[in-house]
Amino acid sequence: MTTHGDVLFVLDPLSTIDAHRDSSYLMIAEAQRRGFQVWSVELGGLLLRGADALAYATPISVPRLGQPVVVRGPSEVRELASFRVVLMRKDPPVDAHFIVATWALDRAAQRTLVVNTPQGLRDLSEKLAILEFPQFIPRSFLLRTVGDLRDALHELGGQMILKPVYGYGGREVLIAREGDPNLSTLFELATRDGTTWTIAQAFVPAAKDGDKRILLVDGEPIGAVMRVPASGELRNNFHAGGSPAATVLSARDLQICAAVGPFLRSRGQFFVGLDVLGEYLTEINVTSPTGMQEINRLENLTDDATMQAKFWAALVTKLG
């Protein structure tokens, strides 16, 4: 299984990489298992010299699965083209710094493989890309005024979910109900007094049972996990206290994957997490989706059956 070459991960600080929760951790460990030399860089370590993309790259390793990532040598300034693949695994938010980083990665993508493709990371809003598939999604709006939100609430039967366009990890997700005395305040908060857009989406009763995170590699599903909300909690994200539960892909899930997979592949989005709530596709996560660790544990996966092994097997094939 030995494969020689260097790979670069664009990450948050190494101290934030959780050995027991993060998919990036497993990707690093599996790259190492396959014989790659693994390097990392934070966003601030990316730079351009003319048209050449470089990084202050730090060599890293996982001493043993379950132990923290460690630095194994000093940083070096290296051209991104010197790596066989660059993996963009910086967590949201997708802010100005993230966008500038994708411009730097655009330059690298002309000379080496960058996963996920930088242009796709910019173009595909994780909350709005679902609009490409209206047959699979709950009724959704992008709105900015209190009046429009009131109209949407009435149209949606008096109950709806509000999500910030750039939200992540379940942050600032709200439920709006007609008759709530705090409704005007809630709308003002969601739109920051009419200065920004919010996403209004039909409430799906199946939310009480949690949603399903489906992992896709090169457009094909490799595994799934249910995210069950804590008692009394609206959000089911793991970062918001949701707990993992075993699941299988339904006929509807497979139908969604069959439609969304080719679209993502055409946009260069190699590793993606779909969120499915009941019968509905609610998000397409392209930045740094997680879920590998939970699926491995729930299904007792080992060796080549793990999520990270399936990821790297497909990626090695792509590298040729």
d(CA 57, CA 173): 36
For domain 139-203, which architecture applies? 2-Layer Sandwich (3.30)
Give the pTM. 0.94
Q: For domain 6-121, give the fold.
A: Rossmann fold (3.40.50)
Amino acid at 285: N
Could you tell me the residue ranges of all domains in the chain? 6-121, 139-203, 206-304
* Partners of residue 221 on adjacent β-strands: 216
What's residue 170's pLDDT? 79
User: Average of pLDDT values for 101-127?
Assistant: 97
Q: How many whole angstroms separate alpha carbon 258 and alpha carbon 249?
A: 12
pLDDT digits (tens, 9 = 90+) for 170-225: 788 999 999 999 999 999 999 999 999 999 999 999 988 999 999 999 999 999 99
Q: What strand order describes the sheet that includes 174-177?
A: 140-143, 198-202, 159-164, 174-177
Of 12-26, 142-156, 168-182, 245-259, give the lowest mean pLDDT range: 168-182
Task: Report the SS3 class of residue 30.
Answer: helix
Q: Which CATH code, of 3.30.470.20, 3.30.1330.60, 1.10.10.10, 3.40.1790.10, is assigned to 206-304? A: 3.30.470.20
pLDDT in tens, 242-264: 799 999 999 999 999 999 999 99
Q: What is the CA radius of gyration of the chain?
A: 20
What does residue 132 show for φ and ψ, rounded to 5 degrees?
Answer: -70, -15
Catalytic residue numbers?
A: 127, 163, 213, 227, 235, 275, 283, 285
pLDDT at position 1 is 47
Cβ-based neighbour number of residue 153 at 10 Å: 21
Lowest mean pLDDT among 43-57, 87-101, 221-235, 242-256: 221-235
Give me the pLDDT at residue 11, please.
98
Is residue 237 a contact partner of residue 194, using CB atoms and an 8 Å limit?
no
